[in-house]
C-alpha cells in the first residue's frame, strides 16, 4: 500500500519534470505553427513575385514571427545552460531566414538550374523546420544518440514533390506532409532524452 509519505519521496516528485514537459509541448506547438507558415504563402509574399496587398504580407510575416516566438519561449523554458539556449534560438532564426531567402530566390528564378533541388531542400518549409527546430531541441537537451532522429526528417524532402508529380490535390499533400512532420517531430522531441530529466 502506498502511503502519503511515499508519494512525497524524491523518486515520485521527479517522475516527470514539468518544466521540461512544458518546454517540449511549447516547442512542438511552435514548430507546427512555423511549418504551417513556411509551407504557406509567406515565401510568395516576401519575394515580391505576387501582387498581395501590403496588409496581407504584413499578416503573413507576423504569423511567422509569432511562430518563432513560441519556439523561442519553449527553448528558453528548458533548464539548459544559457549558451545552449542562445545557440538553439540562433539555429531556429537562421534556419527560418534561409528558407525564406531560398523561397524568394526560387520564385523569382534567381537560382536558375539549381532551383528545383534547392527548393526541395533549403526552401522546403517542412524539412527545414524539422531540421532546425529539431536540432535546436537536441541542443538544449544535450542529446547524444538522439541526433540520429534528425535523419527521419529526410523523408520530407521527396514526399511533397512525389505527391505533386502524382497530381495529388494540394490540400491532400499538405495534410500528408503535416502528419509526417508531426510524427517525425514527436520522435525528435522524445529523442532529446527522457522528459523526467
Q: 10 lies in a domain?
A: no
- Measured CA to CA in angstroms, residue 159 lies from 74, 103, 153, 173, 185 at distances of 28, 18, 11, 9, 16
As a whole number, mean pLDDT of residues 165-189 equals 93
- Residue 132: pLDDT band (50, 70, 90) is very high
Average pLDDT, the chain: 86
**From its phi and psi, is residue 80 left (phi > 0), alpha (psi between -120 and 50) or beta?**
beta
DSSP letter assigned to residue 83: H
Q: 67 lies in a domain?
A: yes
As a whole number, mean pLDDT of residues 108-119 equals 69
Q: 139 lies in a domain?
A: yes
For residue 12, the model assigns a pLDDT of: 45
Q: 114 lies in a domain?
A: yes
Which residues are within 8 A (CB) of 106 and not within 5 positions of it... i.e. 6 or more apart?
115, 118, 119, 123
Burial 11-49 (b: 16+ CB within 10 A, else e): eeeeeebeebeebbebbbebbbbbbbbbbeebbbbbbee
The answer to whether the CB of 108 falls within 8 A of the CB of 47 is yes
pLDDT digits (tens, 9 = 90+) for 73-100: 999 999 889 999 999 999 999 999 999 9
As a whole number, mean pLDDT of residues 55-72 equals 94
pLDDT over threshold 90, residue 176: yes
Q: 5 lies in a domain?
A: no
Cell 512555423 belongs to residue: 34
Using alpha carbons, select from 164, 151, 154 the residue that is nearest to residue 116. Answer: 164
pLDDT over threshold 70, residue 112: no
pLDDT over threshold 80, residue 195: no
Read off the pTM.
0.86
DSSP letter assigned to residue 182: H
- The proportion of the chain whose per-residue pLDDT surpasses 70, expressed as a percent, equals 86
Q: 197 lies in a domain?
A: no
- The proportion of the chain whose per-residue pLDDT surpasses 90, expressed as a percent, equals 56
pLDDT over threshold 90, residue 5: no
What Rg do the C-alpha atoms of the chain give, in angstroms? 19
Range of the domain at 59: 17-191
Total count of domains within the chain:
1
For residue 75, the model assigns a pLDDT of: 96
Q: 63 lies in a domain?
A: yes
Q: 69 lies in a domain?
A: yes
pLDDT over threshold 90, residue 41: no
For residue 177, the model assigns a pLDDT of: 94
pLDDT over threshold 50, residue 11: no
Amino acid at each position: 500500500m502506498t502511503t502519503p509519505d511515499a508519494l512525497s519521496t524524491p523518486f515520485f516528485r521527479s517522475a516527470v519534470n514539468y518544466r521540461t514537459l512544458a518546454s517540449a509541448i511549447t516547442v512542438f506547438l511552435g514548430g507546427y505553427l512555423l511549418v504551417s507558415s513556411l509551407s504557406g504563402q509567406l515565401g510568395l509574399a516576401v519575394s515580391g513575385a505576387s501582387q498581395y496587398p501590403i496588409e496581407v504580407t504584413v499578416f503573413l510575416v507576423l504569423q511567422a514571427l509569432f511562430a518563432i516566438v513560441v519556439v523561442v519561449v519553449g527553448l528558453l523554458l528548458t533548464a539548459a545552460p544559457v549558451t545552449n539556449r542562445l545557440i538553439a534560438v540562433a539555429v531556429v532564426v537562421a534556419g527560418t531566414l534561409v528558407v525564406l531567402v531560398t523561397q524568394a530566390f526560387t520564385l523569382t528564378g534567381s537560382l536558375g538550374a539549381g532551383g528545383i533541388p534547392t527548393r526541395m531542400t533549403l526552401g522546403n518549409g517542412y524539412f527545414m523546420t524539422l531540421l532546425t527546430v529539431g536540432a535546436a531541441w537536441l541542443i538544449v537537451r544535450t542529446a547524444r544518440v538522439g541526433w540520429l532522429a534528425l535523419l527521419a526528417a529526410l523523408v520530407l524532402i521527396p514526399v511533397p514533390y512525389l505527391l505533386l508529380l502524382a497530381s495529388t490535390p494540394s490540400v491532400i499533400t499538405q495534410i500528408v506532409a503535416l502528419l509526417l512532420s508531426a510524427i517525425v517531430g514527436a520522435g525528435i522531441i522524445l529523442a532529446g532524452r527522457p522528459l523526467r530529466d
